[in-house]
Amino acid sequence: MLTALTNARVLLDGGFADAAVVLIDGARIVDIVTSTDLRLRAAQVHDLHGLTLGPGFIDCQVNGGGGALFNDAPSVETIRRIAAAHRRFGTTGLLPTLISDDIGVMRAAIGAVREAMRQRVPGILGIHLEGPFLAPQRRGIHDAGKFRIPTAADIDLIAATDAGRILLTVAPEQAPPEILHALAARGVILAAGHTAATYAQTRAALDAGVRGFTHLFNAMTPLQSREPGVVGAALEDRASWCGIIADGHHVHPAALRIALAAKPRGKIFLVTDAMPPVGSDNERFTLNGETITCRDGKCTNADGVLAGSALDMASAVRNAISLLGVSADEALRMATTYPAAFLGLENTHGRIAPGFAADLVALDADFNVRQTWIGGMSGT
């Protein structure tokens, strides 16, 4: 049945529109009209009472949520639990993210995402493999004992799958350009991260098929006067995308504002790097045998090393407005339109437009989530 979402401040390509009505038929948006459109007579009308209506948030880096960590139990049940927790904060599309682990766990994770998509678990767009082809010098909270150099067999494991979008975070210096090129040629989305690469190595990786950077500034060589490093290559490159964790802990807001000024519009998007406490009352969890504690939104081990975040996407949007000084409509695009483009979903997701997925979020004046739709199905 045709559904009409009315009386909302709707984010369209040109900005917010107060008089727009969004028509949904099944899982797709069919049109954007005014309240005088005759089709409303036969539609089920849903009055949003002045809420802001945007595309649903897309999160490319979700390690956990709802008390569950993907690495602990890479199963459909875990994926469903994580996705449900993040939906409460407006995320209608995500990549369950596997932190560096053994090959058996990688196989299980890929298989679980494949099965979750077959079962149409709401919101699952693919998988993010954050490692294990990373640099020990920039390991962060990862277990360097899991790190290794990719092989032809790894290409087959990662690329020969129908588990939706496949995002692989890799340290360029740990993967020869021919390996990167082979992965990219088979549809794997490559991002540089947890890397000690030089500027030259990063440039070579971009030429070989790397198209993004995982949590810009964190766990990568910084921009310096005589060695621009990974950060310098990322900020200079006009075509690549950068994910950022705007939680006020991972990166100083001034550094993120500089990145926004350096990159072309649309090339920086929000991620959460979320851990199990998101959507849960439990502020502690275990990762690689270490107890991780989250206080005041900051997750660390006993040595103070950051271990993901307790950030949700609605909070990331609010932080982009308050800490980075971006407009409300641009903050929403950083959570929707831009990550969709990074994932190659720019023709189906991340915009409110005819033919696009009816993945939507309704927000109040303080950007708290009031309602979501995934594939046209309403939920909270």
> What amino acid positions are annotated as catalytic residues?
273
What angle do helix axes 177-185 and 152-159 make, rounded to 10 degrees? 20
* Contacts for 254 with CB less than 8 Å, ≥ 6 apart: none
- Torsional sign, CA 340, 272, 366, 283: positive
Q: How far apart are CA 327 and CA 330, in angstroms?
A: 5
Q: How far is CA 331 from the centre of its chain?
A: 14
Tell me the C-alpha distance between 270 and 77, whole Å.
26
105: how many CB neighbours lie within 10 A of its CB?
18
H helix or E strand, kind and range, residue 342? helix 337-342
Neighbours of 141 (CB within 10 A): 22
DSSP characters for 223-237?
P-SS--HHHHHHHH-
- Cβ-based neighbours of 29, under 8 Å, separated by 6 or more: 22, 23, 352, 353, 354, 355, 356, 357, 358
57 with 91: CB under 8 angstroms?
yes
Q: Which string of DSSP letters, residue by residue, matches 93-155? A: EEEEEEES--HHHHHHHHHHHHHHHHTT-TTB-EEEEE-SS--GGG-TTS-GGG-----HHHH
Main-chain phi, psi angles of 9, to 5 degrees: -90, 100
Query: d(Cα 308, Cα 315) in Å, to the nearest integer?
Result: 15
Given phi > 0 = left and psi -120 to 50 = alpha, else beta, which region is 25? beta
The CA distance from 187 to 163, in Å, is 12
Inter-residue contact 64 to 275 (CB < 8 Å): yes
Please list the residues that pair with 129 across neighbouring strands: 98, 168
